[in-house]
């Protein structure tokens, strides 16, 4: 990968069943400072692509090179353990160095970090998900429908928050929302066009 590149997929082939490929010869390069959105119908392979990038699935052929990954999920409540405080859960995966300044920038009150996940609203908890992802110092953030469980005003706030830190990362975004994809993205990949 070149220096600015955080993800390079070359000639990817993958399918769950022999002879039925979800991806054939799929290529993608994503650089630091870019947002690429993956859009497509349910079952078209959007989440499968993320699993391949994360290394949870193995391609039939082709290569995937990537930097350090962090992940932001659709439902923030399922991405935090219900029974211990947010700060401890962030500390499990990331350094807490600079957490106060970044939390303040993101509008996350210090008191939120001492709470259990169910004590926060969906928007507050998704902000904590972004905080956790940023503190992991990733090269690439995989965002799997990160705003679809939020109302429209909170959706916009959350996306603006992620884009604020874009110079440090590349973002690969799965979304069903074409308006959001057009607003946030440098490029949009319609997955129906790549599945065979």
Q: What is the CATH number of the domain that holds 149?
A: 3.40.50.300
Residue 192 lies in a domain: no
Is 22 contained in some domain? no
Is beta strand 5-14 parallel, antiparallel or unpaired with respect to 140-144?
unpaired
The pLDDT assigned to 195 comes to: 43
Query: E-strand spans in the chain?
Result: 5-14, 23-31, 35-39, 61-66, 69-72, 140-144, 170-174, 187-190
Tokens matching residue 82:
């219900």
Question: Which residue range forms the structural domain that includes residue 54?
Answer: 34-59+67-185
- Using the structure block, give the residue that is written with the tokens 């994503």: 30
pLDDT at res. 150: 73
Number of domains the chain contains: 1
Q: Is residue 164 part of a domain?
A: yes
Tell me, yes or no, whether 75 lies in a domain. yes
Any idea which residue has 């429908």 for tokens? 145
Residue 21 belongs to some domain of the structure: no
The residue written with tokens 């078209």 in the block is: 44
172 within domain boundaries: yes
Query: Model-level pTM greater than 0.75?
Result: yes
pLDDT of residue 193: 44
In a structure prediction context, what are the per-residue pLDDT tens digits for the chain, which is 196 residues long?
666 899 999 999 999 887 788 899 999 999 999 999 999 877 778 889 999 999 999 999 999 999 999 999 888 898 999 999 999 999 999 999 989 988 988 888 989 999 999 999 988 898 899 899 999 999 999 998 887 777 777 777 778 888 888 888 999 999 888 888 999 999 999 886 444 4
Q: Which residue has the tokens 């440090």?
A: 168
* 1 inside domain: no
Whether 17 maps to a domain, the answer reads: no
Give the pLDDT of residue 32: 94
| pLDDT for residue 176 | 83
């Amino acid at each position: 990968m070149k220096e600015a590149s955080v993800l390079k997929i070359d000639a990817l082939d993958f399918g769950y069943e022999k002879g039925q490929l979800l991806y054939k010869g799929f290529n993608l390069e994503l650089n630091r400072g870019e947002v690429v959105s993956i859009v497509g119908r349910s079952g078209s392979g959007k989440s499968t692509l993320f699993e391949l990038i994360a290394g949870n699935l193995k391609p039939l052929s082709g290569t995937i090179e990537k930097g350090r990954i962090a992940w932001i999920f659709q439902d923030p409540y399922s991405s935090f353990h219900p029974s211990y405080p947010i700060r401890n859960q962030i500390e499990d995966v990331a350094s807490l160095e600079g957490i106060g300044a970044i939390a303040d920038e993101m509008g996350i009150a210090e008191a939120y970090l001492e709470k259990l996940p169910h004590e926060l609203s969906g928007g507050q908890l998704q902000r904590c998900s972004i905080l956790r992802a940023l503190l992991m110092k990733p090269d690439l953030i995989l965002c799997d429908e990160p705003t679809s469980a939020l109302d429209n005003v909170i959706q916009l706030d959350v996306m603006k928050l992620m884009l604020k830190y874009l110079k440090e990362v590349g973002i690969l975004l799965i979304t069903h929302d074409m308006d959001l994809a057009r607003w946030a993205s440098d490029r949009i990949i319609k997955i129906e066009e790549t599945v065979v």
